[in-house]
Amino acid sequence: MGESDIDRRAFIKQLGLIGQGSLMLSALPWLEGFAADKQKELKGEKAKIAIIGTGSRGLYHINNMLSMSNADIVALCDIYPPHLEDAAALCPKAKKYTDYREVLASTDVEGVLIACPLHMHAPITIDALNAGKHVFCEKSMARTPEQCKAMYDTYKMTGKVLYIGQQRLFDLKYIKALEMVHSGKIGEVVGIRNFWFRNNDWRRPVPEPSLERQINWRLYKEYSGGLMTELATHQLQIGTWALKRIPDYIMGSGDIVFWKDGREVYDNVNVIYHYSNGVKMTFESIISNKRYGMDEQILGHTGTLELAMGKYYPEEPKQAPGIQQFINQIEHKAFDNISIAGPSWVPETASENKGEFVVDNVKTHDGSNTTGAVGDGSIELVSSFCDSVISGKPIPVLVEEAYYSSILALLGLQAMEEHKILAFPEEYKIPYLNHA
């Protein structure tokens, strides 16, 4: 039994503890595969997986999968030889490919895990689903809204398994926090704030100039939507998950403020998503200052959740025991000075309420790791994909959530590029949530 299996067992155990076991699973249908009876059915079987794209994120998944008892990496594919060799060193028995179509033609492969640059997500995913393979594709879904819709339509048409790398859906602290939102613990949700701050140029070393666009694909519009598709998609999903609706208007502003190094994508963005009930969700990202790190904050009228930190802050902190309040009041009346005049205006700086953790043993990260963090749900997500490959059954909700988070990111990008307030386009609505 590998480390990932231990993580997974701990996840199932904690999932049972934070909710009421099966009751919790019924409210989170994408986690049904973790139910004890489903696990029993799949015991001992392995999914034959091909990894397409063996760069940093691909290697992260490979490392995790090597210690999963339900995964067998049978093929590796990448057009960049050094990356392919790095992966082959970890999986010496896997066949090596440089053309993904050859992978899809192989009868040994049951599922593919796609971790290549964004502009290739849609063509490979669509070809793979049409070839009868189950697919795990990293987020964002695709480079354009049209491609996202085409991926979604192909998924529905083929009936094959499709997973998108929205690991927050498998992260315990997020699951518990959203359960608190839906149970009314923080009251009515009145705002959502997402931010991701870093201080680095987002560049990777390039061995020769001709490989610049291939390696630093995140910096060029042809391949990437920059901060929106690489970072915002993770966080924008929180809006759909928490509010169970999609926004009606999107507006924003983006610029290259600091890293004027020939890149085409913004290094400084600010986007607002407006919902029909008046609630706004914001996304802000600057990659030349890291003071505030990253987080998603759900603001309710009786409490606030900081999702990445796994913390809950009630608006009114839990009051002291009655007897202590009584003694304090007597003490104040006896010894406090009588105020003659106080300040007419008090600056409302943040309270020093330390809050409380939503689950035990919260694992957090500062967002500086671009390939994956410990305990962020990635292992559980990929393991669940392997289970689905074995069973051949798609899971509900995940693709729909991922679809809307990708569309929101791309619409935010479009609003910034066109300097317009965009209404959510009808053609990109799917039968889910408030458009079911």
Partner 1 sequence: MKDIVITGKRLRLEGLIFTGCFIVAFLLNVFSIVFYKTEWKELYTQLLWVICLSCLIYFLFLVLRLLYFFLKRIFVAIRNL
| 324 scored as a contact of partner 1 (CB under 8 A) | yes
Q: Which stretch binds partner 1 (CB under 8 A): 301-309, 324-332, 342-350, 412-420?
A: 324-332
In the list 130, 253, 325, 434, the residue contacting partner 1 (rule: CB under 8 A) is 325
| 292 scored as a contact of partner 1 (CB under 8 A) | no
In the list 98, 99, 326, 392, the residue contacting partner 1 (rule: CB under 8 A) is 326
Which parts of 368-427 interact with partner 1 (CB under 8 A)?
none
Q: How many CA atoms lie within 13 A of 420 on its CB side?
A: 8
In the DSSP assignment, the letter for residue 10 is H
In the DSSP assignment, the letter for residue 21 is T
* SS3 (DSSP) at 354: coil
Binding mask 304-323 for partner 1 (x = CB under 8 A): ---------------x-xxx
CB 186 within 8 A of CB 298: yes
Give the residue with the Cβ less far from partner 1, 206 or 330: 330
Give the residue with the Cβ less far from partner 1, 132 or 317: 317
Which single residue is written with the structure tokens 């407006």? 274
The Cβ of residue 414 has, within 10 Å, a number of other Cβ atoms equal to 18
Give the residue with the Cβ less far from partner 1, 153 or 331: 331
Q: Which stretch binds partner 1 (CB under 8 A): 12-20, 325-333, 344-352, 376-384?
A: 325-333
Least spacing, CB of residue 176 vs partner 1, in Å: 23
Determine the Cα–Cα distance for residues 112 and 129; give it in Å rounded to an integer: 10
Least spacing, CB of residue 335 vs partner 1, in Å: 15
Across 93-117, b (16+ Cβ under 10 Å) vs e yields: ebbebeebeebbebeebbbbbbbbb
Apex 8 CA angle, 7 and 9, nearest 5: 95
Determine the Cα–Cα distance for residues 250 and 405; give it in Å rounded to an integer: 13
| 334 scored as a contact of partner 1 (CB under 8 A) | no
Give the residue with the Cβ less far from partner 1, 211 or 327: 327
Residue 140, preceding bond cis, omega within 30 degrees?
yes
Tell me which residues touch partner 1 (CB under 8 A): 319, 321-327
